[in-house]
Amino acid sequence: MADTSVLHSIPVLDLTPETFAPFGEVIVPRRGAGQFDYNVYDPETSDTEAKLTLTNGRPRFWIMHLRERGLVFSKIGRHRKVTQCLGSLGGKEWLFAVAPPGPLGDDARPRLEDITGFRIPGDRIVKLHIATWHAGPHFTHDECMFLNLENMDTNRRDFHVADLGCDCRFAV
């Protein structure tokens, strides 16, 4: 249970592929050609494509509708078998707290000083490395919708949650 008398401030960085690299990858808009137009870009040979791991179950691609999330959290979770992709719909900016993957044991949890917040622009998707700790998405809009790519049973069979012992708030 979180100690609500303690409020830990989470630093917030702007999202770049370099700053997010310890936690995952940033998927940026890429101009495409028309359906029957020739496009010289080959995703099979590009090293800029997100490296997804969805082989440990059946993939699920869905739209997550959230209301009034706020900027405070006291728990953080991770998926130890699958990557996850999140991006907002409608161009809305959002915040995401992450910590690097660590030991996979059930009693593991990240150190508070290892948790970093990111400001995610509404035209970006983030892909988390397997076992990256995350809290969010968080936002101050009344509601927001997110594209979510994970496995069908991710939240039932592959969701490791850790109580942080205090409330954490994005420093925005």
The answer to whether residue 45 is domain-embedded is: no
* pLDDT for position 39: 72
Residues of the chain with confidence (pLDDT) below 70: 1-5
CATH of the domain at 134: 2.60.120.480
Dump pLDDT digits (tens) for 29-38: 887 777 777 7
* pLDDT for position 4: 58
The answer to whether residue 37 is domain-embedded is: no
Residues 135 and 23 sit within 8 Å (Cβ to Cβ): no
* pLDDT for position 125: 98
The answer to whether residue 63 is domain-embedded is: yes
Domain holding 91, by residue range, is: 3-30+50-170
